[in-house]
């Protein structure tokens, strides 16, 4: 009886050790997206997005700020035409917060194109848990070439 009880306790404790937190799950879909982008994997990128996802960029030209919207399908198609490894966005997770099925992630980044530093900025993600899977609903980013932290 002691052996059975000890086994049950061990199974419960080990499952708790390997359980992924909500924050880990949010980070996972974002990391999966950037891995697919680096691999020029259209299906992998598309799988990370919710059906009604939006992609936008804050544009600042000569002090005039606007927001440019890009269709997810067009973005995925253009990246998938690159050679594997050409698009390498290196992010850090500065903030991840969630409330039930909604999460946000703030990720500063350095972007490298064909191995060369191109630009830096910050991504703001809105991520939604749909039918048990975290999906990217919205990305808005900034892009700049000056004032970047050391690009590695």
Domain count for the chain: 1
The CA distance from 2 to 150, in Å, is 57
Domain residues for 88? 21-142
Q: Do 26 and 93 touch, CB atoms closer than 8 A? A: no
Query: How much is the pLDDT for 35?
Result: 98
**pLDDT, tens digit (0-9, with 9 covering 90-100), for 67-126:** 999 999 999 999 999 999 999 999 999 999 999 999 999 999 999 999 999 999 999 999
Query: How much is the pLDDT for 119?
Result: 96
The CA distance from 57 to 141, in Å, is 5
User: Is 137 inside a domain boundary?
Assistant: yes
Positive or negative torsion for Cα 18, 93, 106, 114: negative
User: Is 152 inside a domain boundary?
Assistant: no
**How many CB atoms are closer than 10 A to CB 109?**
20
User: Is 136 inside a domain boundary?
Assistant: yes
- Cα dist from 124 to 30, 99, 136, whole Å: 11, 16, 11
Closest CA to 24 of 96, 122, 108: 96
- In the block, tokens 């000890």 appear at 6
User: Is 38 inside a domain boundary?
Assistant: yes
In the predicted model, what is the mean pLDDT of residues 21-33?
A: 97
User: Is 2 inside a domain boundary?
Assistant: no
User: Is 41 inside a domain boundary?
Assistant: yes
Query: How much is the pLDDT for 147?
Result: 87
User: Is 89 inside a domain boundary?
Assistant: yes
The CA distance from 23 to 120, in Å, is 24
The CA distance from 141 to 10, in Å, is 45
User: Is 10 inside a domain boundary?
Assistant: no
**pLDDT, tens digit (0-9, with 9 covering 90-100), for 126-143:** 999 999 999 999 999 999
CATH number at residue 103: 3.10.450.50
Query: How much is the pLDDT for 10?
Result: 43
């Amino acid at each position: 009886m002691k052996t059975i009880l000890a086994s049950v306790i061990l199974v419960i404790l080990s499952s708790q050790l390997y359980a992924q937190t909500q924050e880990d799950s949010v980070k996972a879909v974002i990391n999966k997206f950037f891995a697919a982008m680096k691999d020029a994997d259209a299906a992998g990128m598309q799988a990370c997005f919710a059906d009604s996802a939006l992609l936008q960029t804050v544009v600042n030209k000569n002090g005039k700020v606007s927001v440019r919207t890009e269709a997810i399908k067009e973005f995925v198609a253009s990246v998938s035409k690159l050679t594997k490894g050409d698009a390498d966005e290196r992010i850090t997770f500065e903030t991840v917060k969630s409330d039930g099925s909604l999460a946000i992630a703030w990720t500063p980044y350095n972007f490298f194109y064909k191995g060369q530093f191109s630009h830096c900025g910050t991504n703001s993600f809105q991520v939604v848990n749909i039918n048990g899977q975290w999906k990217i609903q919205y990305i808005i980013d900034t892009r700049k070439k000056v004032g970047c932290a050391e690009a590695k």
